[in-house]
Copies of this chain bind each other. A is one copy, B any other.
Amino acid sequence: MAIVVRNTPRTALDVVDGLAEAGVATVHEAQGRTGLLGSRLRPIYRPARIAGNALTCEVAPGDNWSIHVAVEMARPGDLLVVTPTSPCDDGYFGELLATSLVAHGVRGLVIDAGVRDVADLTEMGFPVWSKTISAQGTVKETPGNVQTPIVCAGAYVEPGDVIVADDDGVVVVRRLNAADVLAAARARVQNEAEKRERLASGELGLDMYAMREKLAQRGLRYEEHPPS
C-alpha cells in the first residue's frame, strides 16, 4: 500500500543555492518564522551548510527499505528527507547508501531517526542532520511512501520544497515561495550588516531599535542596588 510518485516538480537550483548561502536562521526569519524542523535534528559534523530539493521518504520503524526506493527518484541537487512512521532511533543510513546517493547527485540527508557510519560519512563530506547516532541496523520488509508530502520533525514537507540545513538546524521553504523568500533573505542579510557595524561600535540595541519608550510602557523600571 505504499506509493512512489515520479516526476515531482523541483525548485530551480539557483534559488536553492541562494537559500543555502543565506543560512537557516536568516531564511527562517525571511519567511515569517515558519518552517523550522525540530531542534532535535543535529548535524553529524560541523560546520556544514547546504540546501537541496526535498526528496521525501517515509520508513517503517526499524526498516529502511524505502530509502533504496528513493535513490532511484533522485535528481542532482536533491536532499533526502526521511521520516519514520513512528518514532525510532535506529541507524537507518550508512556510508553505502551515502555512496549511492552521491552517485545520483544527492547533496545530503535530513532524517528524524538515527544514522551510522558517521566517521565514514564525515570523511566523505556527506552532511547529515539526524535525531540520533546509532549502529542499530534495520530490516527490509515494509516499504513506505516516496515523494509524497510528509511531516518531518514537526514540519510539513512536500517533494521539491527547499530544505536548508546548517549548524543551527533545518528549515523548509515551500517551492512556490522560494524565490520570494530568497529575495527577503538577501534584503535581511544586507540590513544586518549595517546593524552589526553599529553594535560593534558600542551603540546599544535599546537606542538603535528605539526600545526605551515601549519598554517603559510595558512596565520596565530601573532601580539602584542598595549600597552593600
A residues with CB within 8 A of B: 1-9, 23-25, 28-29, 32-34, 36, 38-39, 42, 46-47, 49, 60-63, 65, 68-69, 71-72, 85-91, 94-97, 99-100, 102-104, 114, 116-119, 122, 132-137, 139-143, 147, 149, 151, 154-156, 159, 166-169, 171, 192, 195-196, 199-202, 204-206, 209, 211, 215, 218-225, 228
Contact = CB atoms under 8 A, between A and B. Distances in A.
Contacts of A159: 225
A28 B134 CA distance: 11
A72 B228 CA distance: 21
Contacts of A141: 139, 141-142, 218
Given A88-B88, A154-B154, A167-B133, A218 B96 contact: no
A149 to B, nearest CB: 7
A223 B99 contact: no
B139 A196 contact: no
A156 B157 CA distance: 10
Give how many copies assemble into the complex: 6
B143 A149 contact: no
Contact of A25 (B24, B117, B201): B117
Contacts of A96: 192, 195-196, 199
A62 to B, nearest CB: 3
Nearest to A220: B143
Contacts of A192: 96
A61 to B, nearest CB: 3
Contacts of A220: 2-4, 69, 143
A151 to B, nearest CB: 5
Given A94-B25, A156-B156, A169 B135 contact: yes
A28 B206 contact: no
A72 to B, nearest CB: 5
A112 B146 CA distance: 28
A223 B6 CA distance: 6
